[in-house]
Structure 1
Amino acid sequence: MQEQDQALLAALLQTAVDAIIVIDTRGIIQSVNPATTKLFAYTQADMIGENVKILMPSPYREEHDGYLRNYQNTGRAKIIGIGREVTGKRKDDTTFPMHLAVSEVPFGDKKLFAGIVRDISDLKSAQQQLSEVNDQLEQRVRDRTGELRATQAELLRAEKLATLGQVSGGIAHEIRNPLNAVRTSAYYLRNAKNLSLEKTREHLDRIDRQVSLIENVITALSDFVRLPEPRIARCNINDLVHQVLESVSVPENVKILNQVATEKPIAMVDPNQISIVLHNLIRNAGDAMPDGGTITLGSDVTREEIVIEVIDTGTGIKDEHLRRITEPLFSTKAQGMGLGLAVSAAILDKNQGHLEAQSQLGVGTTFAVHLPRKWRS
């Protein structure tokens, strides 16, 4: 049986893919298998009886004997029983990366060490190629990120210019008529002959009223720009809607139906700011029904949000106007500055919500106020 075991062991050593090197406590090579001769380009005769340092480049060869002495004196292993990556040296002095695993082998009254060596040149090459590909990819990502940022900056600039054009157009529309009235009265006061005190007072009052209108436009725009940050709190939507309905006013021929959910839905918003939004939407709905109609308040509760709907049976909004209703100073009303919906959209954005609108001419309009149930910090 022992002879069979020895024959099996010899066969394993002869056919092993990895190099196997056996040394004694002085580092002298006792045995090598054919894979070792192939890997290091030495013959068995070249290696057996030589110090294993011949297979190591500097500085490992100078340090090897110290490793063995340290282990024998202290019993503390630095490589024995632990696999590690080291560098090997062939007979022609070329080096290569290899993985080395060393184990202690009791052999009668001797102590031997067996090292199993695997050439990892292909693995290191693949890792290097992967690293280079990663570097190239990261550079491409950096380049593309720079391009995207430049494009984003250009789009932002274009968007700002477009917004500036819209706002300036709205300001011009709101201010031009009062300025024309002021100019007309000023011209009359400057050129009229035999001005009566009554006429003078009339035109001065007109100038004062028009200047007040212009001042109101500027104040409203300033308030819009300086919209404060929300004070987030748990808000019972039922209570909030009830409070809004108690304070909002609509024409006598307009009826309000409150069909908001009754399960006490809680949103994380600024109650004061959201009440402004609901006031604006309810008043707008009333203005959209000059001949009377019904405003219905409904709601829908999901895991992520609460949606409050303000539905009117008014004249509806044209598609081309519906796309612009939240633009500052855009309005379809004969009177009004067109800031109500712009302010509402801005408030909802600050409260991590948003506003949606659907409309059909001759049927009515639905505004949906989306409010978060959880605050995303």
Structure 2
Amino acid sequence: MENSALLKAIIDNAIDGIITIDDSGTIETINPSGCALFEYEPGEVIGQNISMLMPTPFQTLQDESLNHFHGTITNDITGTDREAVGVRKSGDIFPFRLGFSEVQLLGRKIHIGFIHDLSREKQAEERLKEHLLHLEEQVEKRTKLLKETVSALEYAKEKVSKSLEKETELGQLKSRFVSMASHEFRTPLSSIQLSAILIEKYAGECIHPGIIKHIDKIKVSVSNLTGILNDFLSLDRLETGEFKTAPTRFDIVRFSEEVTEEMQLIAKQNQQIIYQHTGTSSMVSLDQAILKNAIVNLVSNAIKYSGENTFIEFNTEITPSLLSVTIKDNGIGIPEHDQKHLFEAFFRAHNTGTIPGTGLGLHIVTRYAKLMEGHLEFTSKVNQGASFTLSFPQKHE
């Protein structure tokens, strides 16, 4: 009795459905889980053919003979574990795993079916299939996009390569043109300059004031055009890497005094260039030619953008680690909104008006400074002049 009660308790509390049928397919018992699965009360299924729990295509079993049923159910299913489908009282069809066992009881065969609901597993499988399908679609789309991107990159690379080739060709043509133009223009400009000087010389003291005025215009125009050619030639040499520094040790004071004398000759009427040196030492190690080009450019700007009867300060200072060269004027100054572009090639401040220039000077000076491991800084206010300072590190020898 205890064993029977224990067995009944196990069957009644089993998670899976448990059902027993006889050889004819008649349901003899069904546990609570089985009733819950099929949505029937025990009395509604006990005594009925098992085909009532099957979908319509399988219900023909109830009309088949015992031998046929025995052959298809007991021989094929007994002792196996397979998937099947069932139909609930509501008509819903659901998947389950079916396991059948056969026992002998009181001289007859009893078939026991163990039913495990697979609805959740199948739903999970469907979601997984959908997810995999979605992933496959995404992979396909991404692969297609990647191929298109690679193709576009290859096309862009080809275009860039062609553009670089064209740019290189244009750069070479530009360099040849600038070099040719600079040299070809210098000869006639020198001739014009010399002719103007000779006209002034041979005319003597009786030369008409109007002639002197036009001769002066010729000299100024030639000087301006020569400066433009020098700027273009310098920029071309900088871009092609032709400038190579050759540092030497020299006296910065004597060097600066010579530059001051040269620049004073082209200063405007009553413009005075005042040179001053600060420091106990005057010896520095730099490329004299490049340094002179940079200083001449800055002093020329100071002369150009300052009026007559003004002073231009030219200062040098040597500390144990630094050489500073400062050019300060009291000219038109630089508008604040233009200052961030000041060192860009071909840029000119908006207040320069008709004052001639290429917009290359300061750009070239910054390149000169960089060649000698230095840098250029400035301060300026409109109508209060500008101050430019070149700084170069000094190495002890």
| Both proteins in one fold, TM over 0.5 | no
When the two structures are superposed, what TM-score results if normalisation uses the length of structure 2?
Answer: 0.39
Which of the two has greater helix per residue? 2
When the two structures are superposed, what TM-score results if normalisation uses the length of structure 1?
Answer: 0.41
**Radius of gyration: which is bigger?**
2
